[in-house]
Chains A and B, each alone.
Chain A
Amino acid sequence: MKNLLRLYLIFLKIGAVTFGGGLAMYPILHREFIEERGWITEDELTDYYAVGQCTPGVVAINVSTFIGNKRGGVPGGFVSTFGFATAPFIVIALLAASLRAFSEYPVVRNAFAGVRVCVCVLVVNAVSRLWKNSVKDRVTFFIFAFVFALCASAALLPFSVSPAAVVAASALFGIAWQRCRRRAK
């Protein structure tokens, strides 16, 4: 019980000081769990990141669950993840409440119109960062082009394109395609 409370408090602190999620959290985790406490090894942390990127959801959450699970089993996994989510939850709830209250003011509307420009830059950066590891050959480029065309013309299609269906279908396609390719060799 004391162990779980400690896990919760450590992750509460990490959640409060991590800006930018996933990768930004790496040095903090390194210091807290490898250098200061020795609860996990360097290799384990690297593994958690590798697997955390292949499991659904946000990487920061996945890695938190891994560390919690290592230290305190299944309850540890839950406790550390909830700990990580606590501080951001409070901050966002306060901010969202005040933004709603002030959103009709011209100053606030102009400020947000400016901030949205910054968000565009952020999206461009995210795409270019992901592009290198994902679109590696002709087939992956074709998948990209096909899905993008499908989404871009969604308004004209008689059915709606759900992102969940795209994710599921592309995963199945990847498995089938790679299997055929290996068999052909």
Chain B
Amino acid sequence: MIFLLKLFCEFFKVGLFAIGGGMATLPFLYALSAHSGWFTATDVANMIAVAESTPGAIGVNMATFAGFITAGIPGAAASTLGLILPSIIVVLIVANLLENFHENTLVKDAFYALRPAAIALLCASGMSVFSVTMLSSEKIASATGFSAFTSALNWKAMIFGVILYAMQKRFKWSFVSFVALSAAAGIIFRFSC
């Protein structure tokens, strides 16, 4: 019970501070995985894929997923509720009490600096996504020197990443079909070894 309350509070904080849509929750999930140990960095990368391939908003889906792998259905309920409650409260206040909230100078000024900071946070967590994808964690732990570092690189994943990036620029397929393609490529070329 106390654990669920803790889960709720952590995600309430995420919901309150993650500004700028779904992906903004990503840095918070990484910070949470580092200081709570509830899930790993690889779990977070997997969560993004699942959250984006299923209906609903990606930020909420990631919270549900994180809560579920931490404490099952009650955990998923606690984390989801924690994430959406600050949104509901703030929106209800803004909608009923504050007119022209987004035209407000204070809000505009805050967002002037908030937006670039939010992207920097996203970039930094993007690096974590890249490292769990493109580096083999067992090999990097024992890596000494340059040749050991290059052997820890997951070349197959890197090459596929470049191909995939070019493909999604060229073809306007849905995200789910790219996920299916990536999963197939991962199985055929054995990305995890």
Contacts and interface: CB of A to CB of B under 8 A. Distances in A.
Contacts of B73: 93
B57 A88 contact: yes
Interface string B79-99: 010011011101110111000
B153 to A, nearest CB: 13
A55 B183 contact: no
Interface in A98-118: 99-100, 106-107, 109-118
B102 A85 contact: no
Interface in A50-89: 50-62, 65-66, 69-70, 74, 77-78, 81, 84-85, 87-89
B52 A122 contact: yes
B120 A92 contact: no
Contacts of A109: 192
B186 A54 contact: no
A93 B68 contact: yes
Interface stretch (B1-9, B107-115, B143-151): B107-115
Contact of A96 (B17, B65, B86, B185): B65
Give the interface centre of B22, B69, B164 by most chain A CB atoms within 10 Å.
B22
Interface in B10-51: 13, 15-23, 25-28, 31, 34-35, 42, 45-46, 48-51
B124 interface: yes
Given A61-B60, A96-B68, A147-B121, A51 B94 contact: yes
Q: Is the interface of A mostly helix, strand, loop or mixed?
A: helix
Contact of B55 (A65, A91, A126): A91
B161 A117 contact: yes
B21 A174 contact: no
Interface residues on B, range: 35 or more
A126 B49 CA distance: 14
Contact of B116 (A20, A50, A116, A134): A134
A140 B116 contact: yes
Contacts of B57: 18, 21-22, 58-61, 84, 88
B116 A114 contact: no
Contacts of B190: 110
B109 A120 contact: no
Closest 4 A/B residue pairs (Cβ) = A114-B186, A88-B56, A174-B113, A57-B87
Interface of A: 15-22, 47, 50-62, 65-66, 69-70, 74, 77-78, 81, 84-85, 87-89, 91-93, 95-97, 99-100, 106-107, 109-127, 130-131, 133-135, 139-141, 143-148, 151-152, 154, 160, 162-164, 166-175, 177-179
